[in-house]
Structure 1
Amino acid sequence: MLYILLFIIVLYICIDVNYVVRTFFAVLSGRFTENKCSLDDTTTVYGICTFQDCDVTFKFIRSARLLRDLDFARYHFYDRTGIFQRSQDLKIKSLQGCTLILIADPVPLFSFYKINTKLVYWDNRSLFLEHEVITLRDGKLRAFLVSRQHGIGQNGESIEALLSGLAGFQNIKPCPDYIRHWLKSMKISSEKLRRQN
């Protein structure tokens, strides 16, 4: 019994066990209870704000925990749309590039919420996903997030190669104004950093 307890303690120290369990739950629950989706569809995952998600006042969810939940929302979206399988077939890795966070009202402690995820734009190097965090009890939009995912292929494969053939690929989306301005602001910041170095 002591060895089992020691094994569990070492496992929790070395690996974020809760993250792994939640990832498998997000993906497998979608596989068994939902149909495949198009790139045009919105997918939804659910969560609850607990003490481990809160800031130091134990009243609201921390932004870092919200970003962590975006991982589960993305994994679910990738699996439901077929992006995950295509990335495995083409050996294209996904890398979180950056995230834009706008919090209107933080998610309170013990509140159930959902994260709606949809693909709003893609270019040759990146996917841009829009995430809405909505509390279930009042239907209030609590946060709006945009994440940029870079696709990195072994042989220089592009996002177009990744999405080609998936349902909804033919509906190429124009770049929304807010993403265009966001990209421009990141370019200006990058140039400023390069000048300082």
Structure 2
Amino acid sequence: MLLCYVFFGCIGFVLLLYCLLELHYFLRTLACIVWAKLSKKKVYILDETRVAGICLTTDIDNLLNHMNNARYIRELDFAKIDFNERTGLYHQIKKNGGAIVLGATTIRYRRFIKLFSRYYITTKIIYWDDQNIYMEHRFVTPADGFVNAVVLCKTRLTNCNADQIITDLMVNSSQCDLETAKSQKPEVPVELAKWIESNEISSALLRKS
């Protein structure tokens, strides 16, 4: 009888957690951190990372046949965790007393990811300035290499200098010296420059109002 009470008590506790929290999201976050730390090799800060995914029944929209539009953004959380852990980016930011705030995101959908279809997400840094790091993510179908969606994310760093963080990671990787690191900073892509301009216009309008 006591075992029955314990069993049903545990079941009830788990159900309560699911009601109060999106429990599987936090469990998956923990799993991503552990997997990136223990099972994957370190990555140079300017290299591209890749994580695999599959569209499950928990990901689909009300048409019941392809991934919900909002789910793309949610999946990026796990891609970013993998990138930040493997490159050492998050550790370097915390080491310098900084923090991360998502400043803006834009996504362009090109083709549905259908139910039970496999995909992978690529993540790479495409530009940075003193305050922000800009990343590009792509949802790609493995079978034909088709890019289903492209996402631009602006990550704002607080209490630290983004340019210094990236430079330190480049130098600490032993792949380059300070001068070489500075020369590796890419030019801002045209589409990103236009997006940054759009965000600045939006901010100016909001300040006026």
Query: What is the TM-score of this pair, normalised by structure 1?
Result: 0.91
Report how far residue 50 of structure 1 moved: 1.1
Contact 1:37–1:167 (CA under 8 A) maintained in structure 2: no
Match of 2:175 in 1: none
Q: Secondary structure of 1:106's partner?
A: coil
Separation in 2, partners of 1:9, 1:164 = 46
Which residue number corresponds to residue 179 of structure 1?
192
Q: 1:81 aligns with which of 80, 87, 97?
A: 87
Q: 1:139 and 1:163 mapped to 2: Cα distance?
A: 30
How far, CA to CA, are the matches of 2:18 and 2:158 in structure 1?
30
- The aligned residue for residue 58 of structure 2 is 52
- Give 1:158 deviation, angstroms: 1.3
* Percentage identity across paired residues of the two chains: 28
Give the paired residue count. 193
1 or 2 for the larger relative contact order (CA 8 Å, sep ≥6)? 1
CA RMSD of aligned residues (A): 1.5
User: SS state of the match for residue 52, structure 2?
Assistant: strand
Contact persistence 1:54–1:109 (CA under 8 A): yes
- Equivalent AA in structure 2 for residue 7 of structure 1: F
Partner of 2:98: 92
The residue that corresponds to 1:110 in the other structure is 116
After TM superposition, the structure 1 stretch with the greater mean CA deviation from structure 2, 159-168 or 37-46, is 159-168
Partner residue of 1:194?
Answer: 207
2:172 pairs with 1:158: no
| 1:50-83 alpha-carbon deviations (Å, 9 max, x no partner) | 1211110011111211101111111111111111
Structure having the higher Rg? 2
Deviations 1:98-138 (A, max 9, x none): 11101110211111110000000001111100001012233
Residue 146 (structure 1) aligns with: 152
5+ long unaligned stretches in structure 2: 1-6, 172-180
Unaligned runs of 5+ in 1: none
CA–CA distance in structure 2, aligned partners of residues 131 and 62 of structure 1: 17
Q: Which residue number corresponds to residue 3 of structure 2? A: none
**Residue 65 in 1 paired to residue 71 in 2?**
yes
Question: Which residue of 119, 129, 135 corresponds with 1:129?
Answer: 135
State the Cα distance separating 1:21 from its structure 2 match: 1.8
What TM-score does the superposition give when structure 2 sets the normalisation length? 0.86
Aligned letter for 1:193?
L
**C-alpha distance after superposition, 1:168-193 (max 9, x if no partner):** 75421221111111111112222233
